[in-house]
Structure 1
Amino acid sequence: MYVCTVCTVWMDADGLTSFSEVVLAEELKTMRLVAIKCIPKKALEGKESNIENEIAVLHKIKHANIVSLEEIFESKSHLYLVMQLVSGGELFDRIIEKGFYTEKDASKLIQQILDAVKYLHDMGIVHRDLKPENLLYDSMDEDSKIMISDFGLSKIEGSDSVMSTACGTPGYVAPEVLAQKPYSKAVDCWSIGVIAYILLCGYPPFYDENDAKLFEQILKAEYEFDSPYWDDISDSAKDFIVHLMQKDPNARYTCDQALQHPWIAGDTALEKNIHESVSAQIKKNFAKSKWKQAFNATAVVRHMRRLQLGTSNEGPSPTLPEEDGGTTCGLERPLSLSEAGEGSQDVDGGADSMSNCTFRCHPTSRV
């Protein structure tokens, strides 16, 4: 049973619908915190294959640097994906807060991302939407690992229409996707190259307020290592990026090749502090939208801990409503991962396996 001790809801644009709601909850038996993705069934009408795809992908993967799917429930109006909670905040926020940040730090981050994406590729899965916003820290610990989230646009190689649909986020998408050519897992390697570029200078390799001009830059793979921002960055780092951001996907580094590059596997990543320059550019080029600013995962989790310890003086508030305005969000039954995976044909299974699992929501905390 999961109880929403803090019913903090935020919008999560995930490729399945225009948004889903994510609820912070506590598993009563273990007091473990989880994130529950609440997806309205009405919003899925005609898009059932999308959620089936995400569940199939999440069901297949288990990696230390990938947010895991733990359970699946359903009610008459919603699907609920119980996800591992990552509470360390977004990648850019942590870089800004660090005070000291080097090429070596960036190299270690990229190594973790490469390890996770190599795992996905070995499983026949292509993420297709790798970007900094989908990279979250597991905890607030200084040595916290980075986690890849959001598999709404991921695809399993070999399934229908895979590797031909244009998707992804402008600025991170590979040239072959924009050219509407068949593509492969190499699109993820391009995106990792873009992320590495940003981690070392704080701004994107491609930018134009006009989408057509932006896409033209990407199609031509036109980018520069501008002075003065790249003056203190090693040639090895630049070489690493060039190999990942090859216009020709066949010439582009694979994850295996990237992991063997000296900037990742060797000692060529410099340890000079580049925090001032990089953080200033991140603040300038990646300002959060207002709704993002309203959510701070770390503060929410701290508040949750206080409630667990009984130190909060907040009174009760209404529970998370169902479509009829009820006081509980009852779940008809849990779906086993084996049942929900491999296409998730049984996502809407019957109610003959009724469980007592419900959500009870108490103080709402928006931070």
Structure 2
Amino acid sequence: MPLEEDGPSWKKRAEDIRDIYEFREVLGTGAFSEVVLAEEKKTQKLVAIKCIPKKALEGKETSIENEIAVLRKIKHANIVSLEDIYESRSHLYLIMQLVSGGELFDRIVEKGFYTEKDASQLIRQILDAVKYLHDMGIVHRDLKPENLLYYSLDEDSTIMISDFGLSKIEGSGSVMSTACGTPGYVAPEVLAQKPYSKAVDCWSIGVIAYILLCGYPPFYDENDAKLFEQILKAEYEFDSPYWDDISESAKDFIQHLMEKDSDKRYTCDLALQHPWIAGDTALDKNIHESVSEQMKKNFAKSKWKQAFNATAVVRHMRKLQLGTSQESPGRTTPTSPCHGPLLVPGDNNDSLTDTCQDCRSQKSP
């Protein structure tokens, strides 16, 4: 049963989280946490619970709690939400919204028809969400395709931003200068170890837009030093034949986001007003064959390195739904897998390997 609340009003005390939620199975592991599929006993609602051992947070309690308190306020149609927080004597439990549509690139590859206009609509949703974050003073700092998931399996499903493991609240202390993010998506000023701003997210959106239109990244080298050199110089091309059928408007849009000078780089506001997003310059021509072929070549192996595979979870959830429907014919259970490290500032940077024994002890049904 929940204990009497103390500390911040948003944090609830629980002697045993299993009094409130039935744990189903472990969905994935982060640097020092586990994400578990669970069902709220009272409502039968499926959620993802991120279980974080308190000993993994030692020395960081104040900053973690401050950032979680802000992140809990985030409510946007294109952002995976943190719905509740429980605390036991040994763990912090983050109760998160589940999404079931799978990863962005997987869905594009599965489509038979895909156009610039589709890419434009995807980027508009991402810009809307990131503008919302920026207006709240939050910089994501790790926008990349793996952190973009579809809400459902519906054809017209919205796209959702996940994983706030590296997010930062502007003005919450020091100037941002920590080199973090994912190689290939980080802005030049981050690699230059200069103080940076929310403009780093706009650069990353430009990189994502580039990939959505050709299927391969603008910067690539097996050698990280050479990769960083390309990014620092903002050296990228619109190679033939892959870009021959892409509009000049799309290229112009990307160039304004992937602008080396962060002061000249488009903000989310400006990007949302660009004709490729707000107008009708995005072409309707089917570019699926070329883009999907390149995506399969360039991104198939990247999933093996992930701590959490959203596609595997879709499979888990489909099995779970089948099992539930067989046991209780009249009951509807939403199919909603979760995904990797979420909503814990600094999670991706830590080398701590503690995992939640509470979660591990519960076997899959």
Hey, what's the Cα distance between the residues in 2 that align with 1:35 and 1:151? 15
Show the 5 A alignment for 1:74-153. Answer: 74-153=87-166
1:279-337 alpha-carbon deviations (Å, 9 max, x no partner): 1111111122066559622222222323333449xxxxxxxxxxxxxxxxxxxxxxxxx
Moved more, 91-100 or 162-171: 162-171
Does 2:279 match 1:266? yes
Contact 2:47 2:95 in 1 (8 A): yes
Does 2:75 match 1:62? yes
Deviation at 1:363, TM superposition (A): 5.5
Moved more, 26-35 or 219-228: 26-35
Hey, what's the Cα distance between the residues in 1 that align with 2:116 and 2:214? 10
Gaps of 5+ in 1: 13-17, 313-340, 342-357
Show the 5 A alignment for 1:1-367. Answer: 1-4=20-23, 6-12=24-30, 18-49=31-62, 51-286=64-299, 287=301, 288-289=303-304, 292=308, 296-311=312-327, 364=364
Hey, what's the Cα distance between the residues in 1 that align with 2:109 and 2:166? 28
In the alignment, residue 27 of structure 1 is paired with which amino acid? Answer: E
Q: TM-score, normalised by structure 1?
A: 0.81
Change in Cα spacing, 1:90 to 1:19, as seen in structure 2 (3 Å) is: farther
Deviation at 1:29, TM superposition (A): 2.2
Hey, what's the Cα distance between the residues in 2 that align with 1:162 and 1:60? 23
Deviation at 1:46, TM superposition (A): 3.4
Q: Percent identity?
A: 79
Task: Count residues with an aligned counterpart.
Answer: 315
Deviation at 1:42, TM superposition (A): 2.5
When the two chains are superposed, the root-mean-square deviation of aligned CA atoms in Å is 2.2
Deviation at 1:58, TM superposition (A): 1.6
Hey, what's the Cα distance between the residues in 2 that align with 1:49 and 1:128? 21
In the alignment, residue 207 of structure 2 is paired with which amino acid? Answer: V
Deviation at 1:170, TM superposition (A): 0.9
SS of 2:184 mapped into structure 1 = coil
Change in Cα spacing, 1:303 to 1:206, as seen in structure 2 (3 Å) is: same
Change in Cα spacing, 1:7 to 1:205, as seen in structure 2 (3 Å) is: same
SS of 1:171 mapped into structure 2 = coil
1:113-163 alpha-carbon deviations (Å, 9 max, x no partner): 000000011111111111111111111111110000111111111111242
Q: Which residue of 1 aligns with 2:355?
A: none
Deviation at 1:98, TM superposition (A): 1.1
Change in Cα spacing, 1:43 to 1:140, as seen in structure 2 (3 Å) is: same
Query: Following superposition, which runs of at least 4 residues in structure 1 exceed 6 angstroms of deviation?
Result: 358-362
